[in-house]
Structure 1
Amino acid sequence: MSYLKFDRRLMANLDESTQREYIRTNRKGAYCCSSIVGCNTRKYHGVLVIPVPELSENNHVLLSSLDLTIVQHGVPFNVGIHEYEGDIFSPKGHKYIREYNVDIASSTTYRVGGVVLQKEFLFCHYTNRMLQRYTLLEAHSRTTLRLSPFLAFRDVKMLTHRNDQYHGDYGQAKSGVTFCLYPGYPTLYLQLSKAHNFVSDPHWNERIEYIKERERGYEYTEDLYVPGYFEVDIEVGESIYFSAGVEEADPDTLAQLFAEERNIRTPRDDFRSCLLNAALQFYYRPDATHGYLLAGYPWFGVRARDLFIALPGCTIYADAPERFYRIMDTVLPDMRAFMRQEGISKEIRNINEGDIGLWAIWTLQEYARWSSLPDMVSRYGDFLDELIHYYLRNVHPNLRIDDNGLCVMTGDGRPLSWMDAKVNGQAVVRREGYLVEVNALWYNALCFCREALPQKWTPELEELLGRVQQSFCDTFINQHGYLFDYVHPHSSWRDWSVRPNMVFATSLPYSPLPKATRRSVLEIITRELRTPKGLRSLSPKSDGYQPQCHGTQWQREQSYYNGSVWPWLLGPYFEACIKLYGRSAISFIENTLIGMEEELQQHGVGTVSELFDGNPPFKGRGAISFAMSVGELLRSLALLEEAKSKYDTQILPIIRYE
């Protein structure tokens, strides 16, 4: 039985099935994405969505959807589905679905009368090509398939409408046709493995609606160009292959290509294997030498902070150290270029933010933990030394080392930390001065430097380290047993909000806090911030708490860091629990991970969402697949196994939901 399987009852319930989405990527920035029922609910959805850098930095939807019609006795049964104005769904193909499952290739099984048809699809690695396989399992009479492409040729952040500028003529390809609706776009090749007829029937399918965009307060109605349809006969037991790509394929090899792509995939048969698949989908190789992690799907690019936080979990703890090496070899030259005030790549964003280097040092720590300290030093020791001394020179544009040894972050109201929601360019949660997690990272970085590079450690650095530890305790510890979130330097302002940023002062390998304070901090985090899906970004007892992240962009930005739950914070939280509670933390962590496993069947199928609502039922929100969430859960599984090994506890399998 498949690990991720959805039966006919759920698929027929559009309130449920349209809320669940899948994402498949090709490691080159392109993807295929929709709801599991096949109804596009976002402007980002599409069968073939690819980068077209000549037109914009965003991805572009070429093929929005591909409607399937099963013809029996001359009667067509369209098993596609779209939503139109007035909450009208047509055609109602969901009523023919008998099963949807995600094992290796996503598979949908339809029953129309005496016909049982299976549709599977794969997105090819490192090439902009989507493959579908149609297999006729049962039929009592002649069966014909019709495939109707819905073409968009537009930026994912825009919508298209009926117009006179499109180029509707089609060209010929081997066993298929080609389209290019607008200048500047690549040619789209649509091909089948079997002889067929392409019936020209050009028209605009108007007023398609995307309910997720309507919920988010954006334009949500689109017109799509339908040039006609492919018509092909199919026999019982026969498989027919369909290819959509920007290069011509050899129709005779589509079956072989599908088999090859299928054979190199890891089955999604338990919690960890799903996370491994999700982690691989963030891997982005724009060319033969460079590598990155995308922050999430379907709308994020490469972001420096997300990359370093997600990197250990999505590479070394995902049994893929080669990805770690390639990404570090790509990103570290950009880090060095920034420190030397030279030009940097446009691929990676926010590399200029003050805490990025501190997260990079944490990443090196995790690598040393996984490999060895000597190996880390031999590979990255020079970079670690350069980075520490860059901070000590006080030349960063918005971070400096104060006289008390702490890091001060200043700006013009822009976000300065991972809490980066903003409205009109200004941070929704404005945090300036001494930020608690930044200074926990700074203390940890200095301690790691002392451990890794003892030959370069000086009495002056030792004095600085002692100063940082004392100043951290004096500045952040309050009389209620937790830590201020941030403190303005040289003033009496203290932010008393109970936020999760203080968890890093208890979880990092080196903590400036005494053990009693660490225990008190963790107890308050557990009592006020911990949920089954992660840590809240603000305690319900603090002013401004907003438990639901929905509505317009302004409403969402206001709630992201004022109550929404962030699953990536489970990584540091679990690490702190193990450090402070040892063996007794193991069952608690296991139970929490079992709860997270349920999410694989919810918002983003087989992956983990960006965030969740702060109150029950903790609905998944934001990006359907988020690198920091996936990475830190993979690291959490590694932490759990390490703790069980340390305390000689039986390693029990995570419960499977089938």
Structure 2
Amino acid sequence: MIDIHFGPQVCTDPTSGATREWLVPDGVGGYAMGTVSGLRTRRYHGLLVVAGDRPAARRVGLVSLDPAVLLPSGARVRLGAHEWASGAVDPPGFELLEHFALVDGVPRWRWRIGDVVIERELAMLPGRSCVAVVHRLVSGGPVRLELAAACTWRDAHGERRADGPAPRVEPVAGGAVVEGAYRLAGPNWVPEGQWWLGVHHREEAARGLSSTEDLWYAGRFSGALDRPGDTVSVLAWAAPLEFEPMPATEVIEVARRRNRQVVAQARPADDVEATLALAADAFVVRTGESAADVVAGYPWFGTWSRDTMISYEGLFLRTNRADLGRELLRSYAATLSEGMLANTADTGRVEHNTVDATLWFLHAVNRHVTVTGDTDLAAELLPALRGVVDAHRAGTRYGIAVDPADGLLTQGTPETALTWMDARVYGVPVTPRTGKPVEVNALWANGLAGLAELTESTGGDAEELRRLHAQAVASFRKRYPAPGGWLHDVVDAPAPAYPLGGAAYHDDDSLRPNQLLAWSLPYAPLEPDEPTLRRIAAALLTPLGPRSLTAEAPEFTGRHRGGPAERDCAYHQGTVWPWLLGPYVSACRRAGMPVDEVFMGIESHLSEYGLGSVSETADGLPPHAATGCPFQAWSVAELLRVRRPGR
């Protein structure tokens, strides 16, 4: 894997050290997450963040274990770090950090206090909400180490304050149980019980959200570090509380060994691909006895079928996890209703509210069968997939239907946002794309051809599917070319306003990256077109991927910043989306264009924001600072899919 490490100039800087974030997932939707400096900048940061009945229903438990070193002189040196509502950073323990590294996916910090060097490593037990934090004396000593446990138990999207009841902390052998929800275990537990008031989260403030909370100082652990190699360790785990975890040092080794196995299974070609393979693993989760699922992004997303299906090839086929992927595809097929794939249950209820997730599902199934030769799965799912086509031809929810006049798919109502560009502000779509979006119909044509191939591979008759595909492709080639030398983003879109007797519909020629799918998909409706792709690249391409809108457009917004409404307004109006680098590279390769140089910026990004991973979004204007989720499934998956050609 690539070498991700930082020295004191980054670690001790409260800006640069606090903008690089690490993630340790537990494999069931929860995680530990924080920054290189140790400063908590998000409400989502913590050492034990537990997934509920669905990955998005997470709760923050153990927030931090703040180390303090008692030197032989009697001096007490605090190594923790918190920012407060007053603006103060106290203690500034990062000032004593000399090194941070990710070693096989396990974060490691080193503090130096003169000749005393203390190292911390942190890992989660794979498949369980259990975190191990190990402190080891590297040099110097003897010293004594104290670890102050700052706790809460709250929804990951909110805060808990001292004006409500204090967390219930019950003593048990070797530690305590907090709120009956999670257990702390370590040496020499001493209960305390005190509110720490006004902890500040600078990233939440920057996002226009509530940015302060109060933490409960539940107690402290302590132990002697007499000679190099001695350790003081703490474990924290969520229910079932009767679970008896292995020693913390073993949890670290189990996690590290598993991470190496994940990378080896992917058979990476180089260190970058190895890093991406481990990054991909973070998004693949199991909850209970269910099939595998995909977390769309950390720290705030849960499962979204659109993201899952776009990510499928990169997360499962490029990492040699087809057996696990097969389970997922079968599980998702069971959510089909009226020809539509369920989109998400993040809101607490299952929603069928996209036009493209189902089409990406058709694509994922076809890619799975093409790569693996699994015609048994094709035969099993074919009735459901044919049902998708039948439902779309007959018409389904939200005006989604095949237009019999041209065989293209139309969709939408004024109040809905059904494509991946689905941002709404105060209930109003920011990028209304009602009509026939270009990527939707590229996916429709691709899906028809792929389904015809699956049908024929199992001995079925695909004549009608071939006819539908031919009609859709002929109409696509006729309707989508725009006068500017690229493709319309939407055709047959309702005109926002038109004079009496004027046209009720128009074609939107906004220069957006959605058209890339018209050349990138396996059964793309258009032949390779180097001049058009060069025009698109000149207008949209950045080091982290294509912008969502050309900077020449009057609606272009170059910074993805501010409060929720401001960010949502910018989300698809110029913001960069790294996942779109996948379609861009695939389209260019089909056109015979060189693309190897486009990876340099995004590969450098692997050590700039979410360490070892790829962000959700970035600013449309230089320096293209990363925004959104630091760890995003489809961003990682699409880079992994296209980075090595011919796979």
CA distance in 2 between counterparts of 1:367 and 1:565 reads 29
Give 1:190 shift. 1.1
CA distance in 1 between counterparts of 2:539 and 2:531 reads 12
**Which SS does the other structure have where 1:217 is aligned?**
coil
Contact kept, 8 Å, 1:304 with 1:349, in 2: the verdict is no
> In structure 1, which of residues 470, 481, 496 is the aligned counterpart of residue 485 of structure 2?
481
CA distance in 2 between counterparts of 1:365 and 1:61 reads 39
**Which SS does the other structure have where 1:315 is aligned?**
helix
Give 1:508 shift. 1.3
Contact kept, 8 Å, 1:303 with 1:350, in 2: the verdict is no
Give 1:84 shift. 1.1
Deviations for 1:468-517, whole angstroms, at most 9, x for unmatched residues? Answer: 223222321122221111122684412121000111111112233355xx
**Which SS does the other structure have where 2:530 is aligned?**
helix
CA distance in 2 between counterparts of 1:252 and 1:523 reads 56
**Which SS does the other structure have where 1:260 is aligned?**
helix
> In structure 2, which of residues 444, 447, 455 is the aligned counterpart of residue 445 of structure 1?
447
Contact kept, 8 Å, 1:497 with 1:543, in 2: the verdict is no
User: In terms of mean alpha carbon deviation, does 315-324 or 117-126 score higher?
Assistant: 315-324
Give 1:591 shift. 2.0
CA distance in 1 between counterparts of 2:159 and 2:343 reads 34
- Give yes or no for the alignment of 1:100 onto 2:94: no
Instruction: Say if 1:349 and 1:112 are closer, same or farther in 2 by CA, change over 3 A.
Output: farther
AA aligned opposite 1:261: A
Contact kept, 8 Å, 2:2 with 2:272, in 1: the verdict is no
Q: For residue 655 of structure 1, what is the aligned residue in structure 2?
A: none
**Which SS does the other structure have where 1:506 is aligned?**
helix
Q: For residue 532 of structure 2, what is the aligned residue in structure 1?
A: 521
Contact kept, 8 Å, 2:449 with 2:465, in 1: the verdict is no
User: In terms of mean alpha carbon deviation, does 324-333 or 262-271 score higher?
Assistant: 262-271
Give 1:530 shift. 1.2
AA aligned opposite 1:239: T
- Give yes or no for the alignment of 1:191 onto 2:208: no
CA distance in 1 between counterparts of 2:526 and 2:164 reads 67
CA distance in 2 between counterparts of 1:273 and 1:2 reads 8
User: In terms of mean alpha carbon deviation, does 322-331 or 533-542 score higher?
Assistant: 322-331
Instruction: Say if 1:570 and 1:251 are closer, same or farther in 2 by CA, change over 3 A.
Output: closer
AA aligned opposite 1:525: I
Give 1:390 shift. 2.7
CA distance in 1 between counterparts of 2:164 and 2:523 reads 64
- Give yes or no for the alignment of 1:323 onto 2:315: no
Deviations for 1:305-337, whole angstroms, at most 9, x for unmatched residues? Answer: 1110011101111122122112112111112x4
- Give yes or no for the alignment of 1:608 onto 2:614: yes
CA distance in 1 between counterparts of 2:344 and 2:210 reads 35
> In structure 2, which of residues 554, 559, 573 is the aligned counterpart of residue 562 of structure 1?
573
AA aligned opposite 2:407: G
**Which SS does the other structure have where 1:597 is aligned?**
helix
**Which SS does the other structure have where 1:550 is aligned?**
coil
Deviations for 1:581-623, whole angstroms, at most 9, x for unmatched residues? Answer: 1xx52xxx32222321111111101110001111111111000
Contact kept, 8 Å, 2:449 with 2:466, in 1: the verdict is no
> In structure 2, which of residues 208, 219, 222 is the aligned counterpart of residue 231 of structure 1?
222
Instruction: Say if 1:450 and 1:249 are closer, same or farther in 2 by CA, change over 3 A.
Output: closer
> In structure 1, which of residues 219, 242, 246 is the aligned counterpart of residue 234 of structure 2?
242
Instruction: Say if 1:341 and 1:95 are closer, same or farther in 2 by CA, change over 3 A.
Output: closer
CA distance in 2 between counterparts of 1:464 and 1:198 reads 70
CA distance in 2 between counterparts of 1:169 and 1:24 reads 26
Deviations for 1:387-443, whole angstroms, at most 9, x for unmatched residues? Answer: 222322323443101122111112242211001111122211111001111111111
Instruction: Say if 1:543 and 1:620 are closer, same or farther in 2 by CA, change over 3 A.
Output: same
CA distance in 1 between counterparts of 2:153 and 2:230 reads 32
> In structure 2, which of residues 180, 189, 193 is the aligned counterpart of residue 202 of structure 1?
193
Q: For residue 502 of structure 1, what is the aligned residue in structure 2?
A: 515
Q: For residue 511 of structure 1, what is the aligned residue in structure 2?
A: 524
Instruction: Say if 1:86 and 1:340 are closer, same or farther in 2 by CA, change over 3 A.
Output: closer
CA distance in 2 between counterparts of 1:249 and 1:496 reads 59
AA aligned opposite 1:217: G
Q: For residue 289 of structure 1, what is the aligned residue in structure 2?
A: 290
Contact kept, 8 Å, 2:549 with 2:572, in 1: the verdict is yes
AA aligned opposite 1:61: V
TM-score by length of 2: 0.91
Q: For residue 310 of structure 2, what is the aligned residue in structure 1?
A: 309
- Give yes or no for the alignment of 1:216 onto 2:216: no
AA aligned opposite 1:564: T
Contact kept, 8 Å, 1:275 with 1:634, in 2: the verdict is yes
Instruction: Say if 1:610 and 1:168 are closer, same or farther in 2 by CA, change over 3 A.
Output: same
- Give yes or no for the alignment of 1:264 onto 2:258: yes
Instruction: Say if 1:79 and 1:60 are closer, same or farther in 2 by CA, change over 3 A.
Output: same
Q: For residue 62 of structure 1, what is the aligned residue in structure 2?
A: 61
CA distance in 2 between counterparts of 1:593 and 1:153 reads 41
Instruction: Say if 1:450 and 1:590 are closer, same or farther in 2 by CA, change over 3 A.
Output: same
**Which SS does the other structure have where 1:226 is aligned?**
strand
CA distance in 2 between counterparts of 1:252 and 1:127 reads 12
Instruction: Say if 1:343 and 1:628 are closer, same or farther in 2 by CA, change over 3 A.
Output: closer
Give 1:364 shift. 2.0
CA distance in 2 between counterparts of 1:273 and 1:158 reads 35
Q: For residue 50 of structure 1, what is the aligned residue in structure 2?
A: 50
1:320-359 equivalent positions in 2, closer than 5 A: 320-335=321-336, 337-339=337-339, 350-359=351-360
CA distance in 2 between counterparts of 1:340 and 1:81 reads 48
Give the share of equivalent positions with the same residue, in percent: 27
- Give yes or no for the alignment of 1:575 onto 2:586: yes
Contact kept, 8 Å, 2:188 with 2:221, in 1: the verdict is yes
Q: For residue 653 of structure 1, what is the aligned residue in structure 2?
A: none
Q: For structure 2, list consecutive stretches of 5 or more residues without a partner in the other structure.
A: 264-269, 494-502
**Which SS does the other structure have where 1:512 is aligned?**
coil
Q: For residue 378 of structure 2, what is the aligned residue in structure 1?
A: 377
**Which SS does the other structure have where 1:40 is aligned?**
coil
Contact kept, 8 Å, 2:124 with 2:251, in 1: the verdict is no
CA distance in 1 between counterparts of 2:53 and 2:546 reads 37
Contact kept, 8 Å, 2:48 with 2:130, in 1: the verdict is yes
Q: For residue 506 of structure 2, what is the aligned residue in structure 1?
A: 493
AA aligned opposite 1:620: A
AA aligned opposite 1:437: E
Q: For residue 418 of structure 1, what is the aligned residue in structure 2?
A: 420
CA distance in 2 between counterparts of 1:463 and 1:623 reads 42
**Which SS does the other structure have where 1:87 is aligned?**
coil
Contact kept, 8 Å, 2:492 with 2:506, in 1: the verdict is yes
Q: For residue 6 of structure 1, what is the aligned residue in structure 2?
A: 6
Contact kept, 8 Å, 1:334 with 1:345, in 2: the verdict is no
Give 1:2 shift. 7.2
1:51-200 equivalent positions in 2, closer than 5 A: 51-53=51-53, 58-73=57-72, 74-104=74-104, 105-140=106-141, 142-163=142-163, 165-173=165-173, 175-180=174-179, 186-192=180-186, 196-200=187-191
**Which SS does the other structure have where 2:334 is aligned?**
helix
TM-score by length of 1: 0.89
Instruction: Say if 1:164 and 1:453 are closer, same or farther in 2 by CA, change over 3 A.
Output: closer
Deviations for 1:113-162, whole angstroms, at most 9, x for unmatched residues? Answer: 2211110000111111100111111124x311101011111111111111
Instruction: Say if 1:51 and 1:374 are closer, same or farther in 2 by CA, change over 3 A.
Output: closer
Q: For residue 35 of structure 2, what is the aligned residue in structure 1?
A: 35
Give 1:556 shift. 0.5
Deviations for 1:284-304, whole angstroms, at most 9, x for unmatched residues? Answer: 211123221011100001111
User: In terms of mean alpha carbon deviation, does 88-97 or 255-264 score higher?
Assistant: 255-264
CA distance in 2 between counterparts of 1:341 and 1:232 reads 54
1:10-25 equivalent positions in 2, closer than 5 A: 10-25=10-25
Contact kept, 8 Å, 1:506 with 1:522, in 2: the verdict is no
AA aligned opposite 1:317: R
AA aligned opposite 1:48: L
Q: For residue 438 of structure 2, what is the aligned residue in structure 1?
A: 436
**Which SS does the other structure have where 2:318 is aligned?**
helix
Instruction: Say if 1:28 and 1:257 are closer, same or farther in 2 by CA, change over 3 A.
Output: same
Q: For residue 469 of structure 1, what is the aligned residue in structure 2?
A: 473
CA distance in 2 between counterparts of 1:252 and 1:214 reads 39
Contact kept, 8 Å, 1:338 with 1:352, in 2: the verdict is no
- Give yes or no for the alignment of 1:550 onto 2:561: yes
